[in-house]
A and B are shown apart, each in its own frame.
Chain A
């Protein structure tokens, strides 16, 4: 078969289709979005009746996958690293159940290209005590989906696949395999296996502990982890995932003189690592992420041979790995191009020209000027860029706008305004609004409704066309659910609505409603086709 030019994300998606996947349930988040999007757009997937859904959030998505697995079918759920926090509950408990046929793909974002932190998902997999796969390139990402399902079904465990931004969003040629059929529907043989009552859970947790040696054995023998001999034993190198490529980049033809343990599967292959440790004078650990492997090798006492890496900042602790950082850690010369001339100024990301959020923020900024002690609590989405306009004071995590506004309002901050997008409101804003209603919090919640999940490239928004009814159903007084079209010509109306709702002592919701400008262009183009 000829090679397809695929993003790492797309390689995983194609592999899911080819490996007999039956359902993919996800929530969009950079850099993971293109996995599920690829399956949704795939004609092949549609022909095979594969379910491909965007869900309300990562928790509902992963729980759906556990349900797919209950039916004996192969499932996938994809998310960005912070999404794993949202589905921490089903994630940990899917591990206890020993859910078969589930791969959870988590895309981490070292250097925070489009994220609020650099958390490394491998700590989660370790914590849940399940096998993890960390492919080093696009082809391996494709192949490892096949392997992951085999391992998952054979061992009775979900699999965490961890990829960083650079693999997710880099294209390379990928060779496909012969597609596999989907599993027929089947039911769990043990009626207690999906019932985590303490009496069952205790047994299942013990089972998980007892599986650990098998997981370790597969890490030593699957062939994905490799001990690669080298002649210069003054140093042994451990690489994880794509860090291997940054190492080889520094040697002509990729011929590294040092012995290397290349890790792409966890738990750690301790026999390989032990061999490396014994025969080399010191160890250098290369990871695109936090020092997950380094900490385990070094131990908290740091005794024994020197282990270098991010902990001793031989490689900077923060930021993504690259070939230059590896070269420096190896004491090699680094090439430099011309410096950036002083004349170059920053060009930070900004809201698009014509974006409805700009009109919403212009009205809000002007109204808030009248209140010296008022605050605006922001959320995650394109509208986070409102910080650069001076429109919002906070951004923490999905849904935190409404709940933080509530907490602050109860401490006397007035006005306490929350700004959240329609997508994020559907993800995790609704429960916070219910808290506000129950506590009669004095907040103004602005739900910026642009008809789409815009930041990640235009996925459907789960609460689309339902915002009024949701707010009313949760208990917001319908007289204080206000709509406005955020356009220059409606500025005065917008300001008036804001002033009236700030004056109202209770929960107000204002819904500025206008479709995302980028999405609108796409829709117009599609119509004219």
Chain B
């Protein structure tokens, strides 16, 4: 089994925590993991991405070559489009549909949605709205929506959440688990 995943969004939206949860779950299953991220100046409110590769075979490069990503998981609709050159022909885009507008020339959201609609496989939904209802973060809801495509048992993701957020207390663990379940069940 091999999954190459581009996680993307806007600096500070917690996309790296999603990458960590998937990595942790994969490592627990005895798989190989490589997860590349960007720190520093690029983080400050700009476009950010993380390359996550999990595989039962050895992984070579830390970054995914263009045209090879199985999944693009994006916390922001325009950012999902920015990383399309990485998408494999049968790859899927899973994105939050709620735009994050921190630039003056953010495009017309209808045009962004039209581009997403052209894709062969795309799941676009308002993860932030679902997150708000349960007082969680949108990135965790997205992770839940991506779960069926990851080929990792849902239980394993919950275990990873417990391991990673355990020190922050039971309430945080529960909120995050509730969020990924809500994402999984979202239509």
Say yes or no: is B69 at the interface (Cβ < 8 Å to chain A). Answer: yes
Q: Which residues of A contact B (CB under 8 A)?
A: 3, 5, 30-31, 33-34, 113-114, 165-167, 169-173, 242, 245-246, 248-249, 253-254, 322-324, 327, 334-341, 343-353, 382, 384-385, 455-457
Interface residue count on the B side (C-beta < 8 Å): 56
Q: B135 contacts the other chain (Cβ, under 8 Å)?
A: no
Bitwise interface map of B from 70 to 87 toward A, beta carbon under 8 Å scored 1, else 0: 000000001101101111
Which residues of chain A are within 8 angstroms of B106 by Cβ–Cβ distance? 345
Q: Which B residues from 63 to 108 make CB contacts under 8 A with A?
A: 63, 65-69, 78-79, 81-82, 84-88, 91, 102-103, 105-108
Q: Given contacts A344-B81, A347-B102, are A169 and B43 in contact (CB under 8 A)? A: no
B85 & A173 in contact (Cβ 8 Å cutoff) = no
Query: Knowing A166-B36, A348-B46, A350-B44 touch, does A336 contact B65 (C-beta < 8 A)?
Result: no
B10 contacts chain A at the CB level, 8 A cutoff: yes
The smallest C-beta distance from B5 to any residue of chain A, in angstroms, reads 13
Question: From residue B25, how far is it (CB to closest CB) to chain A in Å?
Answer: 11
Indicate if the CB atoms of A254 and B58 lie closer than 8 Å. yes
Q: Are A340 and B103 in contact (CB under 8 A)?
A: no
Once A113-B38, A114-B41 are accepted as A-B contacts, the answer to whether A324 and B46 lie under 8 Å apart by CB is: no
What are the 9 closest A-B residue pairs judged by CB atoms, nearest first?
A: A335-B67, A114-B40, A30-B40, A349-B46, A170-B62, A170-B36, A337-B87, A349-B44, A114-B41
| Interface stretch (choices B27-35, B123-131, B139-147, B175-183) | B27-35
Partner of B33, one of A172, A346, A348: A172
B159 shortest CB reach to chain A, Å: 14
Determine if B40 and A336 form an interchain contact, defined as CB atoms under 8 angstroms apart: no
Q: 16 new A-B pairs (CB below 8 Å) besides A323-B61, A347-B103?
A: A5-B23, A31-B39, A166-B62, A169-B37, A169-B39, A254-B60, A334-B65, A334-B67, A336-B66, A337-B85, A337-B88, A343-B81, A343-B107, A344-B82, A345-B78, A347-B78
| Interface presence of B42 (CB below 8 A) | yes
Contact (Cβ within 8 A) B44 A245 = no
Q: List 13 A-B contacts (CB under 8 A).
A: A5-B35, A166-B36, A172-B33, A248-B60, A249-B61, A334-B65, A335-B68, A337-B69, A337-B87, A341-B84, A347-B103, A350-B44, A382-B44
Chain B residues near A33 (CB, 8 Å)? 39
Q: Is the CB of A322 within 8 A of B61?
A: yes
| Given contact pairs A30-B39, A170-B35, A341-B81, A350 touches B24 in the complex (Cβ within 8 A) | no
Which chain A residues lie closer than 8 Å to B108 at the CB level?
A: 343
CA distance A456 to B44 in the complex (A): 11
Closest chain-A Cβ to B15's Cβ sits at a distance in Å of 14
Flag if B42 contacts A113 (CB, 8 Å).
Answer: yes
A322→B107 contact, CB < 8 A: no
A322/B63 contact (C-beta < 8 A), A169-B37, A171-B35 known: yes
Once the chains bind, are B60 and A351 in contact (CB under 8 Å)? no
Convert B40-54 into 0s and 1s, putting 1 for each residue whose CB lies closer than 8 angstroms to a CB of A. Answer: 111111110001000
Q: How far is the CB of A463 from chain B (nearest CB, A)?
A: 21
The answer to whether B36 and A169 touch across the interface, beta carbons within 8 angstroms, is yes
Q: How far is the CA of A162 from the CA of B124 in the complex (A)?
A: 42
Whole-angstrom distance from the CB of B152 to the nearest CB of chain A? 15
Interface contact A170-B34, CB-CB below 8 Å? yes
Q: CB of B153 within 8 A of chain A? A: no
With both chains docked as a complex, state the minimum distance between the C-beta of B180 and any C-beta of chain A, in angstroms: 19
State how many angstroms separate the Cβ of A516 from the closest Cβ of chain B.
Answer: 11
Given the known interface contacts A249-B65, A340-B85, the answer about A352 and B44 at a Cβ–Cβ threshold of 8 Å is yes
Contact across chains for A171 and B103 when beta carbons are under 8 A apart: no
Query: Could you tell me if A339 and B84 are in contact, using CB atoms closer than 8 angstroms?
Result: yes
Q: Do A337 and B66 contact each other (CB < 8 Å), given the known contacts A30-B41, A172-B34?
A: yes
Set of chain B residues within 8 Å of A385, measured between Cβ atoms: 41, 44
B27 and A249 within 8 A (CB): no
Contact at A340–B81, with CB atoms within 8 Å?
yes
Across the interface, B85 reaches (CB within 8 A) one of A165, A166, A249, A338, namely A338
Q: Knowing A173-B27, A344-B107 touch, does A245 contact B81 (C-beta < 8 A)?
A: no
Residue ID in chain A nearest B10 by CB atoms? A347
The residues of B that contact A335 with a CB separation of less than 8 Å are 65-68, 88
Does B14 interact with chain A (Cβ within 8 Å)?
Answer: no
Q: Are the C-beta atoms of A336 and B111 separated by less than 8 Å? A: no
Check A455–B87 contact: CB distance below 8 A: no
Q: Which of B42, B63, B91 is within 8 Å of A114, CB to CB?
A: B42
Given contacts A245-B61, A249-B65, A385-B44, contact A114 B111 (CB under 8 A): no
**Cα A344 to Cα B91 with chains together (Å):** 20
* Contact pick for A340, options B33, B37, B40, B82, CB 8 Å: B82
With A30-B41, A338-B119 in contact, is A343–B32 under 8 Å at CB?
no
Q: Is the CB of B32 within 8 A of A167?
A: no
Nearest chain A CB to B91's CB is how many angstroms away? Answer: 7
Tell me the bound Cα distance from A283 to B103 in angstroms.
47
B68 touching A338 by the CB < 8 A rule?
Answer: no
Complex Cα distance A170/B61, Å? 10
A170 to B87 alpha-carbon distance, docked (Å)? 20
Given known pairs A335-B66, A341-B81, A344-B78, the reply for A245 and B60 (CB within 8 Å) is: yes
Q: How far is the CA of A347 from the CA of B39 in the complex (A)?
A: 16
- What is the CA–CA distance of A478 and B41 in the complex, to the nearest angstrom? 34
Chain B residues with CB under 8 Å of A324's CB are 65-66
B38 to chain A: closest residue by CB: A113
